Amino acid sequence: MTSELSPIDQAKFIAAKRAADMVEDGMRVGLGTGSTAAWFVRCLGELVRSGDLEIHGVPTSQRTAALARDVGIPLMSLDEARWLDLTVDGADEFDRDLNLIKGGGGALLQEKIVATASDRVVIIADKAKEVETLGAFPLPLEVIPFGWQTTQALVEETLVAMNVMGRKATLRMNGDAAWVTDEGNHILDLHLHRIGNARQLALVLNQIPGVVENGLFIDICDTVIVGFGDGKVEVRDIDQGTIETGHIEFEESENLFRDLGE
């Protein structure tokens, strides 16, 4: 029940619920990964099960695919869909230009491919994700396992010439083993503290052999929906330059709140 949700989960839920209002019949919808995106998948599942909405979802991870199946959303692969109407995902950080750091949940590669193939990308987040300058959250970098330590050294060397405040790259772990992404790769987390030129950094990192993709999402996001614990919601649109505010009432829904969190 909603009373059991922490304020941060309530904020995530509010943002997710507002994003679900943007989904229309017949849409092909990219389904993001992470705890905020999971709320969106649950909200969407409820609409689909009630018969109010017919859509197809394209998941950005095995985790999201499993949740979407659980809540009754019909799925298709990106290759079947080819192009998507809308993608809704979470983020680790967003700035005033709606540039993002993503990949805290380890799904940045599929997330970036799916977002780039979408007419509209909506990011759902709580206020704590908003930053003046990107970089306090360690920047995830997906690298192939072959020679990852050489790649790590090259990345750290490259960072010397970049406008960043730190340059340590650490291998993400899953217990005692290296984290393995859905694509079988590893993740280096770059502790940069402050990224002075995110656009340039994103381009340079992707030139390093062994790097598959970085977690900087530049000019990809169209809209950020910020949820608050008291039901307030803000919709910021970069193309229209608008900020719309509203309020969403919590609804006591057994199905939605039964199986909490990721």
List residues binding ligand 5RP (CB under 6 A).
Answer: 32-37, 89-92, 102-108, 111
- The DSSP secondary-structure symbol of 141 reads E
Q: Measured from the CB atom, is 154 or 182 closer to ligand 5RP? A: 182
Which residue in 102, 98, 101 sits closest to 120, CA to CA? Answer: 98
108 vs 91: CA distance, rounded Å: 10
Smallest gap from Cβ 104 to ligand 5RP, in A, equals 3
- Is 254 a known active-site residue? no
* Least distance CB 26 / ligand 5RP (angstroms): 26
Torsion sign across C-alpha atoms 169, 165, 100, 42 = positive
> Considering beta carbons, is residue 59 or 104 the nearer one to ligand 5RP?
104
Residues in contact with 132: Cβ distance below 8 Å, sequence separation at least 6, in sequence order: 95, 96
Minimum distance, C-beta of residue 54 to ligand 5RP, in the bound complex (Å): 26
As given in the structure block, the two tokens for residue 13 are 């839920």
Residue of 199, 198, 204, 203 whose CA lies nearest to 156? 204
Q: What is the CA radius of gyration of the chain?
A: 18
For ligand 5RP, give the closer residue by CB, 117 or 154.
117
Q: Residue 38's CB: how many other CB atoms inside 10 A? A: 25
22 versus 154: smaller Cβ distance to ligand 5RP: 22
Give min distance, CB of 141 to ligand 5RP, in A.
Answer: 12
Give me the numbers of helices (H) and strands (E) for the chain, helices first please: 8, 16
Q: Which one is catalytic: 46, 93, 111, 142?
A: 111
Q: Which residues are catalytic?
A: 111
